[in-house]
Amino acid sequence: NETIAASIAQMKAVSESERIRIKLEPSTDPLTASVRRADLWAIVTNLVANSIQAAGYSHARGRKFPSEREIVVSFRRDGNDLEISCEDNGPGLPEKPTNWIWEVYNTTKPGGSGLGLYIIADIVGSYAGTRLALPSTRFPTGALFKITLPGVFRVD
């Protein structure tokens, strides 16, 4: 929880000048998972940074999305798996195959490194997890990124 709170606080400071509100939806259960702190920090930070920067992506030009941006990060336990979601009301996903965005050096942002989502994919792969990029289900525009890390909760 400290790692998540610190990462979100850092990203809120970055997003204040961009008029983006970041909301952390609390889990209904206390979550204690066997996930490296650095891995969790990298996943959350890169997901939120990706959402913050979405308005600068080349595919955002000409798309209508709110100038008052919102990002919602949530965590939930599903059996022994940890599900992390990051959803925003930005321009949505590029019109390319969704696996393309997880590959190294692929970016739609001028000057972008193409490393953020690749880092997430690499970490998720090390846990034999899954990652999805979908249109937002919460907002009329935007993207939803879902990460699942299997078996990170102890079986009681």
Amino acid at 61: R
Is residue 8 within 8 A of residue 71, CB to CB? The reply is no
Query: What distances in angstroms separate CA 33 from CA 7, 59, 61, 125, one per listed residue?
Result: 17, 36, 40, 17
The burial of 57, by beta-carbon neighbours within 10 Å (0-12 exposed, 13-18 middle, 19 or more buried), is given as: buried
Strands 20-25 and 143-149: unpaired
Separation CA 91–CA 84 (nearest Å): 21
Is residue 97 within 8 A of residue 106, CB to CB? The reply is no
Q: Considering the entire predicted model, what is its pTM?
A: 0.84
Helix (H) or strand (E) holding 123: helix 116-126
How do the pLDDT tens digits run along the chain, 156 residues long? Answer: 666 677 777 666 666 656 788 787 867 666 677 888 889 889 999 999 888 888 877 778 888 998 889 999 998 888 889 999 999 999 998 887 778 888 888 777 766 777 889 999 999 999 999 999 999 999 999 999 999 999 888 665
